[in-house]
Amino acid sequence: MNNNISAAAALILLAACAQTNDPAWSAFNTEAGTGVTDGGFGNSTMNNTLVMTGQAAYRDNLATRFAAAVPTTVNFAFNSATLDAEAQARLRQQANFIRQFPEVRFSVYGHTDMVGSNAANYQLGLRRAQAVVGFLVAQGVHRSRLDALVSEGKTRPLVVTQGPELRNRRTETTVSGFVERHPNVLNGKYGEIIVREYIDSATAVPTVGGDGGGGGASAGLGEQPPAG
């Protein structure tokens, strides 16, 4: 009798494992909207709202335009959150685009390479995202439109290597959605927003309070080789 019960329990456990590993089962039992955004980033509730209201396709189309028009990533020196001259030039291009689409929200994600601890790299990725947001704000982008400031640490490398890698030490700026109370959004004019002409030579807003390239190097935190 006991052997029969044990065998039945084992079969139930195996069936549960098979269901968990089945993509269809996982999709059905996962919160709607999970993984909808570019690269799998973002909040599932927000994504579900975008999908259900028909905004997601417009968001994705504008994200494609943004990525085609300007560089969406900036890179950093090892163990640093300082924006160098190239990073600042790229962010000026981002800010120029963002200012021309005041109905749209953007997100900034910080990343590190795979050297160092998870905790230290999480903090370093956050400082990098903060440095980028500070620079964009100094270029005239309203802080309320940069609605996510997230560190992915070393969890999403572009190049899988345990050593230092410049391409992994980056931030990514993405289109995340629309400003809820903007008149064009309230009137459902998503199509008009995303096809608006982007003027590459639009007049830049003067920098406020310096070049915004703060953040600074943070010695001893993240992307550091192990002792010895």
Ranked by mean pLDDT, the top range of 28-37, 44-53, 146-155, 190-199 is 146-155
pLDDT recorded at residue 92: 97
**Contact, 123 vs 151, CB < 8 A?**
yes
pTM value?
0.66
Question: Which residues have C-beta within 8 Å of that of residue 30, sequence separation ≥ 6?
Answer: none
Domains and CATH numbers, the chain: 48-194 (3.30.1330.60)
Say whether pLDDT at 82 is over 50.
yes
What CA–CA distances, in Å, run from 223 to 86, 115, 120? 21, 4, 8
pLDDT recorded at residue 39: 41
Higher pLDDT: 31 or 4? It is 4
pLDDT recorded at residue 162: 87
Say whether pLDDT at 189 is over 80.
no
Containing H/E element for 151? strand 146-153
pLDDT recorded at residue 124: 95
Question: Which residues have C-beta within 8 Å of that of residue 227, sequence separation ≥ 6?
Answer: none
Least confident of 53-57, 164-168, 201-205: 201-205
Tokens of 155: 């969890």
pLDDT recorded at residue 212: 39
**223 Cα distance to chain centroid:** 20
Q: What mean pLDDT is reported for the chain?
A: 72
pLDDT recorded at residue 184: 59
Least confident of 40-49, 102-111, 144-153, 216-225: 216-225
Apex CA 35: angle with CA 137 and CA 136, to 5°?
5
Provide the phi-psi class of 175: left if phi over 0, else alpha when psi is between -120 and 50, else beta. Answer: beta
